[in-house]
Amino acid sequence: MSFRSPGVTDVHYVASLSPGGGEHLLPPRAWYAESDARRLSLNGSWRFRLAGSADAYDDGFAVPGFDAGEWGEVRVPGHWVLQGGGAFGGPVYTNHLYPFPVDPPRVPTENPTGDHLRVFDLPEDWPIGEGGTVLRFDGVESCARVWLNGRELGHFKGSRLAHEFAVGPLLKARGNVLAVRVHQWSSGSYLEDQDQWWLPGIFRDVTLLHRPEGCVGDHFVHASYDHRTGAGTLRVDSESAGRVTVPELGIDLATGTEATVPVEPWTAETPRLYDGVLATAGERVPLRIGFRTVALEDGLIKVNGQPLLFRGVNRHEFHPATGRALDAETMRRDVLLMKQHHINAVRTSHYPPHPAFLDLCDELGLWVVDECDLETHGFVEQAWRDNPVDDDRWTPALLDRAARMVERDKNHPSVVVWSLGNEAGTGRGLTAMAHSIRSRDTSRLIHYEGDPDCHDTDMYSRMYASHAEVERIGRRLDGGPKDRRGLPFILCEYAHAMGNGPGGLTEYRHLFDTYERCQGGFVWEWIDHGLEHPAYGYAYGGDYGEELHDGNFVCDGLLFPDRTPSPGLTEYKKVIEPVRIEGDGRAGTVRVTNLYAFADLSQLAFTWSYEADGVPLATGTLAVPELGPGERAELKLPERPAGADPTAETRWTVRAALAQATPWGERGHEMAWAQLPVSTRVLAPAAVGARPARSGDRVTLGPAVFDARTGALASFGAVALTGLRLDVWRAPTDNDEGAAWQPDLRYGPRWRELGLHRMHHRLDSVESTGDALVVRTRVAPAAREMGLATEYRWTSDGTRLRLTVAVAPEAEWQVPLPRLGIRFGLTDTAPGSRVPVRWFGGGPGEAYPDTAAASAVGLWEADVDDLQTPYVRPQENGARADVRWAEIGGLRIEGDPEFWFTARRWTTEQLDAARHLTDLVPGDTVWVTLDHRQHGIGSQSCGPGPLPQHQLHAEPAEFTFTFSELTD
Ligand code: GAL
């Protein structure tokens, strides 16, 4: 027997397999930002009521006259969980686990459901009664049911896709009541298991669009380019017949007909758009036409005859306050930041972005891999059983998603590849999607990473493949089906930018340069998804008390949540710079290579400077001939300027910068640089000569005083210094920690297990030997046999103090060391006071062995607080590379060889213990670490660890620091 209780709301659509329905729901069509038809934004403040389940309330709220006086309010576009200060529930972060029992297509009874109400009037001059009107939702997560003036329009799923309803006859001049019920969980949630916050709500625009009689319906702009002839061919297919005009090209043709004229092509480097108009009897729609031809040719992805090299990023839509509700300015900021950092491609991971973002990609120039809103990753937990993409009952929903992406976005020249989705396993549904996309659009290629056989795709795609694997693929030694070996290769995700890192970008770049099959990749990912939080600064998974969560795995971007570039972005910019500058500083020769595929270098100005110990002695401009794409020139630098101190370290720095402002960069914006060493530094004579003198429990050596029993440095002149000793511990980075599923050894956890964070320092001897005070120790963790025999040899010339540390590993070290250096505290710094640092060495930013490409040798200055890199989850950060000398707290430290310099107002142990930046409270000691070496960073939070050459193996080592007191 089955019955429905009286008064129970029918919510069967929520868990039905249907993507949507209702007599007013319209088929998908091309999206455009402007036309001369009227439109009315319904964004703004809406009345809002939250229920704990889908059927908690009946649909009476949709009836005009309903009193919503008791309701709260939310901002549309927006997510209710990010509004109301917690009153409307909270966000949930999981990587791939469904935060509800997996029983597709059914969803939990606890299904947060937000009723939204908005009453609106039409503008006075709205042509009511003429033509029709469409109500458009650009994005609602995850399932909406809609009523207008008491009449049900229908329901839909597909969170990041547009849905339109025909509403014309239902509208009135005043007092229209729009009611939208949004369910957080629906059958669609099974298809939207992307690694991100689960954020329900009407998070993109809601717009009312007047559709005049004879208006433009769906239309498809076909604009190809023949690179052999230089001609572009334009044809606009349109549901309503009309004319297409492009005044600049003298084009005036009927829809459905073709014109071929000479044009300048569109590329991401040269985003040439032609303004046109599509005019039908009732509407004029501006077109922005970019002529380009995408082809799979010779096993390569080509545009306009040229192979592409993707210097890309994966971009989720994210704002730290508003989640996936992005304003126009934020979208523009993203594109500008990408362009300014030489990024030329974006994968819209893992769903079609707000359509306005694609307009910006057209305008400013980015190759776009537009990805469908599809991920079923959670099914991996059950060996992909019941995966919707391999179950025909779900295929209509998959085809609906594919169609809604393609139809909405098909007129963007920037979109060169359609991606079927992400991490959805394999199955017939994906094949059906690929077929339907190909039958609709033959002008673009198809991507999907999850199918290693490349059944349905035009390129072989992998994520997080190691350098070695990419090399094998580049050499076509990767096995796999024969056909796959003939396909181009891309890394749709690589270089996991979680926390400090990613390391190894330079080496990937080298592989892309070497193997033509390797057409680049997309760094994971663009921005940290840290949400603004009153107590934590930025919140990550678990901070909202979620039942299941994946912690700070959601903070893995090249930008911090507030869109400040992280060192990872600076590094990426350097690695992918579009001009290569190389040369021989002593010979005074430079080679400049244009790495663009389409653009010449006419927009760049080149300069040189000649520096002695980091100080420019002379600067000038460098005349570089016009270089076409791929061309190079060998140039001579001027005569070396005179005047350098003969002991100085000298080098040329050659730079390329924007000669004029461009739409994305200011004049002078740095585009490429290189340093060409001329002479190396001459070290000051060793500080030796003074003899250690014992008096009572003290030993004096020049300006230094030591504890006679322990050999510990007690003071150095007027500098208050404490706790100097060998240090091997760093607060593990996310990449040190690695991801739980990583097959290789993850060193972070291993280090901790071995006890490297709690080393014992055993004192073996303190001896005065002639002019040296020698302290021998053994540094080792409890419970283990391995250790580091460590000798500190102190000498002085009466003013300077010299420390040579010799380290010899004992027993078997099965792991690399996190770092190897000394640390000490400067105790004379009141919290809050400025602690300036000057150094000559790598800067201005942070660097580690495999993230040091952007580190330039120079004379740098910064405050200790500004040396910190604010990774959302605190971890090792802030080292400066190749430091010759540094000055801090009245102390000058000179290294032989160069060292890594780090200074912070907390200890490594405090940094290690902190979960959020707000846990880090400055004390009155500045802790300085001078490292002989650091272990590399790698990308093991999701990808491979540091390459062997960047690992710090325990080996005998010796390094020296000379300390002197600074006199003002
Ligand atoms: C990939 C996935 C991304 C993200 C990344 C790790 O497997 O496609 O969405 O989860 O790993 O941050």
Provide the β-strand partners of residue 887: 838, 892
Provide the β-strand partners of residue 201: 141
User: Of 794, 728, 816, nearest to 960 (Cα)?
Assistant: 794
User: Of 733, 768, 767, 771, nearest to 752 (Cα)?
Assistant: 733
CA gap 731, 527 in Å, rounded:
23
Task: Return the exposure string of 852-881: e unless at least 16 CB atoms fall within 10 Å of the residue's CB, then b.
Answer: bbbbbbbbbebebeebbbbbbbbbbbbbbb
- Decide whether any atom of ligand 1 lies within 6 Å of the 524 Cβ: yes
Q: How far is the CA of 195 from the centre of ligand 1 (A)?
A: 6
For 746, residues 6+ apart whose C-beta sits below 8 A from its C-beta are 736, 737, 738, 739, 940, 945
Provide the β-strand partners of residue 632: 593
pLDDT at 739: 87
pLDDT at 644: 79
Lowest mean pLDDT among 117-131, 300-314, 508-522: 117-131
- Decide whether any atom of ligand 1 lies within 6 Å of the 449 Cβ: no
pLDDT (tens digit, 9 = 90+) per residue, 265-287? 999 999 999 999 999 999 999 99
Q: Give catalytic status of residue 546 as yes or no.
A: no
pLDDT at 52: 97
- Decide whether any atom of ligand 1 lies within 6 Å of the 940 Cβ: no
- Kindly state whether residues 714 and 664 are assigned to the same domain: no
Q: Give catalytic status of residue 423 as yes or no.
A: yes
- Kindly state whether residues 41 and 134 are assigned to the same domain: yes
Locate the DSSP E strands across 203-328.
Answer: 206-211, 219-226, 231-238, 242-246, 251-254, 258-262, 274-280, 284-289, 294-297, 300-303, 306-307, 310-314
- Kindly state whether residues 58 and 197 are assigned to the same domain: yes
**CB contact at 8 A, 620 and 631:** no
Cα dihedral 939, 942, 945, 947 in deg (nearest 10): -60
Q: How far is the CA of 757 from the centre of ligand 1 (A)?
A: 30
Closest residue CA from atom 11 of ligand 1: 942
**Atom number, ligand 1, closest to the C-alpha of residue 492:** 8
Largest CA distance in the chain: 104
- Kindly state whether residues 648 and 721 are assigned to the same domain: no
Instruction: Name the more confident of 302 and 646.
Output: 302
pLDDT (tens digit, 9 = 90+) per residue, 854-889? 999 999 999 999 999 999 999 999 999 999 999 999
Q: How far is the CA of 492 from the centre of ligand 1 (A)?
A: 10
**Residue from 93, 95, 197 whose mutation best tests the ligand 1 pocket (most atoms within 8 A of CB):** 95
What angle separates helix 328-340 from helix 355-364, to the nearest 10 degrees?
40
CA gap 871, 824 in Å, rounded:
23
Rg (CA), the chain: 32
Using DSSP's 3-state secondary structure scheme, residue 353 falls into: coil
Which of 153, 180, 211 is a domain's end point?
Answer: 211
Q: Report the percent of the chain where pLDDT is more than 70.
A: 99
Q: For the residues 363-381, what does the mean pLDDT come to?
A: 98
What is each CA distance from 539 to 197, 529, 543, 916, 922, in whole angstroms?
11, 9, 6, 8, 21
User: Of 941, 93, 836, 18, nearest to 504 (Cα)?
Assistant: 941
pLDDT at 1: 40
**CB contact at 8 A, 88 and 72:** yes
Cα dihedral 665, 667, 670, 676 in deg (nearest 10): 160
DSSP state of 564: P
Residue type at 558 in one-letter notation: L
- Decide whether any atom of ligand 1 lies within 6 Å of the 142 Cβ: no
**Atom number, ligand 1, closest to the C-alpha of residue 349:** 9
User: Of 403, 384, 335, nearest to 28 (Cα)?
Assistant: 403
Using DSSP's 3-state secondary structure scheme, residue 787 falls into: strand
**CB contact at 8 A, 206 and 76:** yes
Task: Return the exposure string of 894-909: e unless at least 16 CB atoms fall within 10 Å of the residue's CB, then b.
Answer: bbbebbbbbbbbbbbe
Q: How far is the CA of 494 from the centre of ligand 1 (A)?
A: 10
Active-site choice (141, 283, 423, 525): 423
- Kindly state whether residues 709 and 635 are assigned to the same domain: no
Specify the number of domains making up the chain. Answer: 3
CA gap 889, 66 in Å, rounded:
69
- Kindly state whether residues 624 and 754 are assigned to the same domain: no
CA gap 735, 746 in Å, rounded:
9
**Residue from 197, 371, 419, 423 whose mutation best tests the ligand 1 pocket (most atoms within 8 A of CB):** 423
Q: Is residue 157 domain-resident?
A: yes
- Kindly state whether residues 821 and 907 are assigned to the same domain: yes
Using DSSP's 3-state secondary structure scheme, residue 338 falls into: helix
Is the confidence at residue 380, as pLDDT, over 80? yes
**Residue from 93, 317, 448, 524 whose mutation best tests the ligand 1 pocket (most atoms within 8 A of CB):** 524
DSSP 810-843: ES---S--SEEEEEEEE----TTS--EEEEEEEE
Q: How far is the CA of 163 from the centre of ligand 1 (A)?
A: 27
- Decide whether any atom of ligand 1 lies within 6 Å of the 373 Cβ: no
Q: Is residue 256 domain-resident?
A: no
- Kindly state whether residues 643 and 717 are assigned to the same domain: no
Task: Provide the pLDDT confidence category of residue 405 given band limits of 50, 70 and 90.
Answer: very high
**Atom number, ligand 1, closest to the C-alpha of residue 942:** 6
Q: Is the peptide bond before 571 cis (omega within 30 degrees of 0)?
A: no
CA gap 211, 581 in Å, rounded:
55
What's the distance, CA 145 to chain centroid? 34
Q: How far is the CA of 328 from the centre of ligand 1 (A)?
A: 26
Is the confidence at residue 407, as pLDDT, over 60? yes
**CB contact at 8 A, 729 and 757:** yes
Closest residue CA from atom 3 of ligand 1: 195
CA gap 226, 291 in Å, rounded:
9
Q: Is residue 39 domain-resident?
A: yes
Q: For the residues 30-35, what does the mean pLDDT come to?
A: 96
Q: In what order do the strands lie in the sheet with 615-622?
A: 615-622, 604-612, 650-658, 670-679
- Kindly state whether residues 675 and 723 are assigned to the same domain: no
pLDDT at 8: 59
pLDDT at 742: 78
pLDDT (tens digit, 9 = 90+) per residue, 115-154? 999 999 999 999 988 999 999 999 999 999 999 999 999 9
In terms of DSSP bridges, do strands 772-781 and 787-796 run parallel, antiparallel, or are they unpaired? antiparallel
- pTM score, whole prediction: 0.97
Q: How far is the CA of 497 from the centre of ligand 1 (A)?
A: 11
- Kindly state whether residues 93 and 198 are assigned to the same domain: yes
Is the confidence at residue 2, as pLDDT, over 50? no
Question: What are the tokens at 371?
Answer: 């990805």
pLDDT (tens digit, 9 = 90+) per residue, 217-266? 999 999 999 999 999 999 999 999 999 999 999 999 999 999 999 999 99
Q: How far is the CA of 805 from the centre of ligand 1 (A)?
A: 43
Is the confidence at residue 183, as pLDDT, over 90? yes
CA gap 342, 453 in Å, rounded:
32
**CB contact at 8 A, 441 and 417:** no
Question: What are the tokens at 719?
Answer: 């500098």
Question: What are the tokens at 363?
Answer: 């305008």
Is the confidence at residue 6, as pLDDT, over 60? no
- Decide whether any atom of ligand 1 lies within 6 Å of the 942 Cβ: yes
Is the confidence at residue 7, as pLDDT, over 60? no
Q: Cα(first)–Cα(last) distance of the chain, in Å?
A: 93
Which of 211, 238, 257 is a domain's end point?
Answer: 211
- For position 922, which CATH number holds? 2.70.98.10
DSSP 38-101: -EEE--EEEEEEEESSTTSS-GGGGSTT---TT-EEEEESS-GGGSGGGTT---EEESSS-SS-
Structural domain including 621 reads: 577-679
User: Of 850, 911, 604, 851, nearest to 727 (Cα)?
Assistant: 911
Which of 679, 707, 723 is a domain's end point?
Answer: 679
Q: Report the percent of the chain where pLDDT is more than 90.
A: 95
pLDDT (tens digit, 9 = 90+) per residue, 917-934? 999 999 889 999 999 999
- Range ranked top by mean pLDDT from 766-770, 832-836, 958-962: 958-962
**CB contact at 8 A, 950 and 850:** yes
Active-site choice (141, 283, 375, 493): 493
pLDDT at 587: 97
CA gap 311, 289 in Å, rounded:
24
Task: Provide the pLDDT confidence category of residue 544 given band limits of 50, 70 and 90.
Answer: very high
- For position 622, which CATH number holds? 2.60.40.10
pLDDT at 867: 98
Provide the β-strand partners of residue 961: 803, 895
- Decide whether any atom of ligand 1 lies within 6 Å of the 941 Cβ: no
CA gap 164, 338 in Å, rounded:
32
pLDDT at 4: 45
**CB contact at 8 A, 283 and 37:** yes
- Decide whether any atom of ligand 1 lies within 6 Å of the 727 Cβ: no
Locate the DSSP E strands across 797-918.
Answer: 801-810, 819-826, 836-843, 856-863, 880-888, 891-904
Is the confidence at residue 3, as pLDDT, over 50? no
Q: Is residue 217 domain-resident?
A: no
Q: Is residue 328 domain-resident?
A: no
- Decide whether any atom of ligand 1 lies within 6 Å of the 115 Cβ: no
Residue type at 486 in one-letter notation: G
Q: Is residue 112 domain-resident?
A: yes
pLDDT (tens digit, 9 = 90+) per residue, 693-752? 999 999 999 999 999 999 999 999 999 899 999 999 999 999 999 988 876 678 999 999
CA gap 180, 158 in Å, rounded:
15
Q: For the residues 828-840, what does the mean pLDDT come to?
A: 86
For 388, residues 6+ apart whose C-beta sits below 8 A from its C-beta are 104, 105, 190, 191, 376, 379, 394, 397, 398, 424, 429
- Kindly state whether residues 656 and 722 are assigned to the same domain: no
What is each CA distance from 269 to 331, 462, 783, in whole angstroms?
19, 25, 59
Is the confidence at residue 968, as pLDDT, over 90? no
Q: Is residue 571 domain-resident?
A: no
pLDDT (tens digit, 9 = 90+) per residue, 681-707? 999 999 999 999 999 999 999 999 999
Is the confidence at residue 78, as pLDDT, over 50? yes
- Kindly state whether residues 183 and 45 are assigned to the same domain: yes
Q: Is residue 111 domain-resident?
A: yes
Using DSSP's 3-state secondary structure scheme, residue 380 falls into: helix
DSSP state of 187: G
- For position 168, which CATH number holds? 2.60.120.260
CA gap 547, 111 in Å, rounded:
15
